[in-house]
């Protein structure tokens, strides 16, 4: 994230931990957006990795020509000096945490209070692989929430120690989950449901939450809870996002109208479609058509 220094609003909080004598952390941030906003332009972090945990929602990031589509519960990281951004996509509605960690060579050999040997070992584990997108854990979110709680209270040497310990625990989670992902690239327990959704996206009666629960072989309440735990968002919102993604593809073509796309995808009116479209993309359908 390109913002520098401390910044706080109702939906975005950013801290520069170097000002709290934690030189390893250039930036710690959390946003909780209720609707999409302008995307991130291409940027890079010299001598630093950036680690993001998307607790809820969806988000697209791009590194070079590669796109990565995050869902709730996913981790994403960039290596030092890699150009990255959202590739023209907005910053979507959702809850996301991130922090930027400097190479211990940039901070006198130590990282988060660890000895130089341990710092080099942990840094090496973080940067040895280019696997950058993989499932995270709610334990990481718990540590980050605690760090933010501490940052909002009176700061002390003990506070600094706890922050370093919790961020070190987060880094160990990152290394563990990435290594697990390298050894297990399964499609997830709801792959059949997602396949059904893609096949029947233009058939509203086939993609109701009740129908998807039947495809999964679960009760409605169990399906809703399990699906949200797996993807980070409720099934109804997932379906809505898929319809908007398809709408973006259709609107990028010539010869189609907003009204045609709205009704083809099962929206009750073009006005409702335009409202939902802007909430998830930060643009109106006509603005997207104007960029063709």
**Residue at 255 is within a domain:** yes
- Whether 166 and 250 map to the same domain: the answer is no
Q: How far apart are CA 90 and CA 5, in angstroms?
A: 23
Question: Residue 76: pLDDT above 90?
Answer: yes
**Residue at 126 is within a domain:** yes
- Whether 89 and 203 map to the same domain: the answer is no
**Residue at 76 is within a domain:** yes
Question: Residue 65: pLDDT above 70?
Answer: yes
Domain count across the chain: 2
**Residue at 36 is within a domain:** yes
- Whether 235 and 177 map to the same domain: the answer is no
**What's the pLDDT tens digit per position in 194-225?**
888 888 888 888 899 999 999 989 999 999 98
What CATH number corresponds to the domain at position 108? 2.60.120.280
pLDDT at 229: 75
Tokens for 87, please give them. Answer: 């590739």
pLDDT at 187: 46
Among residues 183, 205, 225, the one where a domain terminates is 183
**What's the pLDDT tens digit per position in 85-114?**
998 889 999 999 999 999 999 999 999 999
**What's the pLDDT tens digit per position in 118-172?**
999 999 999 988 889 999 999 999 999 999 999 988 888 899 999 999 999 999 9
- Whether 222 and 89 map to the same domain: the answer is no
- Whether 34 and 177 map to the same domain: the answer is yes
- Whether 145 and 285 map to the same domain: the answer is no
Residue whose pair of structure tokens reads 């960029």 in the numeric block:
291
The model's confidence at residue 272, banded by pLDDT at 50, 70 and 90, is very high
Tokens for 51, please give them. Answer: 């680690």
- Whether 71 and 150 map to the same domain: the answer is yes
Burial of 123 (0-12, 13-18, 19+ CB in 10 A): buried
- Whether 163 and 55 map to the same domain: the answer is yes
Buried b (16+ CB within 10 A) or exposed e, 185-199: eeeeebeebbebbee
Question: pTM of the prediction?
Answer: 0.72
**Residue at 148 is within a domain:** yes
Among residues 157, 183, 209, the one where a domain terminates is 183
pLDDT at 3: 56
- Whether 170 and 197 map to the same domain: the answer is no
Mean of pLDDT values over 64-82: 90
- Taking the mean position of all CA atoms in its chain, how far away is CA 204? 28
What CATH number corresponds to the domain at position 242? 1.10.10.60
- Whether 276 and 149 map to the same domain: the answer is no
- Mean of per-residue pLDDT scores for the chain: 89
**Residue at 2 is within a domain:** no
pLDDT at 253: 76
Is the CB of residue 135 less than 8 Å from the CB of residue 189?
A: no
- Whether 173 and 211 map to the same domain: the answer is no
- Whether 58 and 165 map to the same domain: the answer is yes
Among residues 164, 183, 202, the one where a domain terminates is 183
Mean of pLDDT values over 247-275: 88
**Residue at 140 is within a domain:** yes
The model's confidence at residue 186, banded by pLDDT at 50, 70 and 90, is very low
**Residue at 1 is within a domain:** no
DSSP 2-39: ---S-EE-SSEEEE-GGGGT-TTEEEEEEEEESS-BPP
Between 184 and 248, whose confidence is greater?
A: 248
Its domain, for residue 241, covers 191-290
């Amino acid at each position: 994230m390109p913002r520098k220094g401390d910044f706080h609003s109702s939906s975005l909080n950013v801290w520069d931990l170097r000002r709290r004598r934690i030189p390893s952390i250039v930036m710690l941030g959390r946003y909780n957006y209720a609707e999409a906003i302008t995307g991130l332009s291409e940027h890079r972090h010299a001598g630093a990795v950036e680690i993001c945990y998307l607790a809820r929602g969806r988000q697209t990031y791009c590194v070079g020509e590669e796109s990565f589509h995050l869902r709730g519960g996913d981790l994403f990281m960039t290596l030092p000096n890699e150009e990255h951004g959202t590739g023209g996509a907005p910053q979507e509605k959702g809850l996301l945490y991130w922090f930027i960690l400097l190479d211990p060579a940039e901070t006198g050999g130590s990282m988060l209070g660890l000895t130089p040997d341990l710092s080099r070992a942990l840094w090496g584990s973080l940067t040895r692989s280019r696997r950058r997108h993989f499932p995270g854990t709610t334990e990481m979110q718990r540590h980050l929430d605690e760090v933010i709680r501490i940052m909002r209270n009176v700061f002390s040497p003990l506070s600094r120690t706890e922050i370093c310990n919790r961020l070190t625990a987060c880094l160990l989670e990152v290394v563990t989950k990435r290594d697990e992902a390298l050894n297990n690239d399964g499609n997830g327990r709801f792959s059949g449901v997602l396949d059904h959704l893609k096949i029947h996206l233009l058939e509203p009666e086939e993609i109701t939450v009740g129908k998807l629960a039947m495809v999964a072989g679960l009760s409605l309440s169990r399906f809703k809870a399990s699906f949200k735990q797996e993807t980070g968002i409720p099934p109804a919102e997932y379906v809505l996002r898929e319809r908007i993604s398809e709408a973006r593809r259709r609107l990028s073509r010539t010869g189609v109208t907003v009204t045609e796309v709205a009704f083809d995808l099962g929206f009750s009116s073009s006005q409702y479609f335009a409202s939902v479209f802007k909430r998830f993309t930060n643009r109106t359908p006509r603005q997207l058509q104007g960029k063709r």
